Amino acid sequence: MAEKAESLNIIRKVSHWINGQIHESDSDRYGEVFDSATGEQCAEVVMANEADVNIAIQSAQDAFLRWSRTPVLKRARVMFRFKELIERDRKEIAVLLTQEHGKVLHDAHGSIQRGLEVVEFACGIPHLIKGEYSDQVGTGVDTYSMRQPMGVCVGITPFNFPAMVPLWMFPIAIACGNTFILKPSEKDPSCSLKWAELMQEAGLPAGVLNVVQGDHVAVNSLLTDPRIMAVSFVGSTPVAEHVYQTASEHGKRVQALGGAKNHLVVLPDADMDQAADALIGAAYGSAGERCMAISAVVTVGDSAEPLLEKLVPRIEALKVGPGTDNNNDMGPMITAEHRDKVRSYIDLGEEEGATLIIDGRNHGVTKSSGYFLGPTLFDYATPDMRVYKEEIFGPVLTISRVDTFDDAIKLINNHEYGNGTAIFTRDGDAAREFASGIQVGMVGINVPIPVPLAFHSFGGWRRSL
């Protein structure tokens, strides 16, 4: 049954969360947050100034002294309670995600689940951070190592997973005894406050988790402040590179995950129904706004025609509409600006000479006031075309045709991004060779979006990390 997002008549104000409460900022800069399915403004977000960031850092630094000495079992118990509270409120959170991001409710629930799994992992922190001990490494000398918290850590997160990506970061950092400042995307900021409130309800002391809302002003203050020890960033590659360079120049430990262009190889022996079904979810789910979305198919030999025969009717049958209706497969884009950018890539692909098979610009849903585009498919995309090379981050899939398996490997290995990839084949030898020869971080064999679970690491290669 479809859950309906409640229609809010007042514009919510989304502020910072510092030292266990909403922090009233004197900043005069605000951002607009939209219900992407209707185009109406649903919230305004306060953009932090340097003074706000300074207060948040001081609060996190003061809290570190006590939190880092809190027994690890007590820190783990906060995570157990946090997990229960997410389960209690997950419907409400999913509605919030659907309203601000636009993803269909079932997809919103899925993203909460994947974040929840990281919280479950963090519940095991007493075992995970045990150190090592070697007895008698020299006569009368023992050696031990221990894992110690670093101090104040920062997480800067993208718009496309406003619940899950913050949950990749702060539960682990905090369970390890660090304190944390989250700077979520200004495009869908509300979930960050929900996380802060639930962590407090779970028993987290004030100051251990803080949230500053905003844009590059907040980010740059965080990256250069000497009290920050470590930075975790997830977002587009140009910003990831800026964050990595600035924060490391300022002596911080930095992990920066960037953008992607993920290829899916179809060999002639593949189960074409399976490959087409996989592509529907992987290319068009969440309107293509996923760093692990498949945006480039590589057909080998004569596999293009049988794949197209299965794929085209499935794309034409996709239901596009508001994410509040769980019968829809695909919702809107995040903003009008982003929708226009994705649309301009369809114009570009045509100009560059790719063959447009399905044109999302003409889909009936584009007549609504929300930020919709229909699913789009190009054939004959070549490596020199921008529509193939660049991350579009929307419901646009390209097909590139190559002659051999080796050509497919070469094409993928030459791409500047290397986040995820997949192959569809029934040939075990080809699958094994693909898995070992491909230079990409996460690899799927007959699995379209090879996202590891919380107890494995996640990350791409080349400009994706």
Out of 14, 219, 266, 412, which residue is the one contacting ligand NAD (CB under 6 A)? Answer: 219
Between 75 and 415, whose beta carbon lies closer to ligand NAD? 415
**Closest CB 234 distance from ligand NAD, rounded Å:** 5
Residue 257 binding ligand NAD, by CB under 6 A: yes
- Rounded to the nearest angstrom, the gap between the alpha carbon of residue 168 and the centroid of all alpha carbons in its chain is 9
Residue 177 binding ligand NAD, by CB under 6 A: no
* Closest residue by beta carbon to ligand NAD: 235
Pairing of strands 132-138, 141-145: antiparallel
Between 190 and 419, whose beta carbon lies closer to ligand NAD? 419
Residue 46 binding ligand NAD, by CB under 6 A: no
Q: Which residues contact 143 (CB under 8 A, 6 or more apart)?
A: 133, 134, 137
Considering only residues 317 through 346, tell me which ones interact with ligand NAD, judged by CB under 6 A: none
Binding mask 380-409 for ligand NAD (x = CB under 6 A): -----------x-x----------------
**Is 291 annotated as catalytic?**
yes
User: Roughly what angle, to the nearest 10 degrees, separates helices 164-175 and 72-100?
Assistant: 170
Per the rule left: phi > 0, alpha: psi between -120 and 50, beta: everything else, 446 is: left
Residue 241 binding ligand NAD, by CB under 6 A: no
Span of 111-119, 182-190, 362-370, 444-452 interacting with ligand NAD by CB under 6 A: 182-190
Out of 96, 260, 287, 333, which residue is the one contacting ligand NAD (CB under 6 A)? Answer: 260
SS3 call for 106: helix
Between 27 and 185, whose beta carbon lies closer to ligand NAD? 185
* Distance (Å, whole) CA 427 – CA 40: 50
Between 177 and 258, whose beta carbon lies closer to ligand NAD? 258
Listed in order, strand segments (DSSP E) in 226-266 are 228-234, 253-257, 262-266
Span of 197-205, 213-221, 271-279, 442-450 interacting with ligand NAD by CB under 6 A: 213-221
Q: What angle do CA 249, 253, 255 make, to 5 degrees?
A: 105
Q: Where are the alpha helices (DSSP H) in 42-163?
A: 50-67, 72-100, 105-122, 125-128
Residue 36 binding ligand NAD, by CB under 6 A: no
Size of the site for ligand NAD (CB under 6 A): 28
Distances (CA, A) of 10 to 7, 40, 41, 448: 9, 11, 9, 41
Distances (CA, A) of 291 to 81, 113, 143: 30, 17, 43
DSSP state string for 399-445? EEEESSHHHHHHHHHTSSEESEEEEE-S-HHHHHHHHHH---SEEEE
- Rounded to the nearest angstrom, the gap between the alpha carbon of residue 287 and the centroid of all alpha carbons in its chain is 13
Span of 106-114, 150-158, 308-316, 351-359 interacting with ligand NAD by CB under 6 A: 150-158
**Closest CB 451 distance from ligand NAD, rounded Å:** 9
Span of 215-223, 365-373, 375-383, 426-434 interacting with ligand NAD by CB under 6 A: 215-223
SS3 call for 359: coil
Residue 235 binding ligand NAD, by CB under 6 A: yes
**Closest CB 165 distance from ligand NAD, rounded Å:** 6
SS3 call for 273: helix
Between 283 and 308, whose beta carbon lies closer to ligand NAD? 283
Out of 116, 125, 156, 265, which residue is the one contacting ligand NAD (CB under 6 A)? Answer: 156
Span of 229-237, 353-361, 371-379, 422-430 interacting with ligand NAD by CB under 6 A: 229-237
Residue 186 binding ligand NAD, by CB under 6 A: yes
Kind plus residue range of the DSSP H or E element containing 13: strand 12-14
Considering only residues 415 through 444, tell me which ones interact with ligand NAD, judged by CB under 6 A: 419
Residue 215 binding ligand NAD, by CB under 6 A: yes
Residue 239 binding ligand NAD, by CB under 6 A: yes
Q: Where are the alpha helices (DSSP H) in 101-215?
A: 105-122, 125-128, 164-175, 190-201
CA-wise closest residue to 265 among 462, 420, 441, 457: 420
DSSP state string for 207-235? TSEEE---SHHHHHHHHH-TTEEEEEEES
Residue 404 token pair: 């051999």
Between 75 and 338, whose beta carbon lies closer to ligand NAD? 338
Residue 439 token pair: 């230079």
Binding mask 279-318 for ligand NAD (x = CB under 6 A): ------------x---------------------------
Sites of contact with ligand NAD (CB under 6 A) = 156-161, 165, 183, 185-186, 215-216, 219, 234-236, 239, 242, 257-260, 291, 391, 393, 419, 460, 464
Instruction: Give me the active site residues, please.
Output: 291
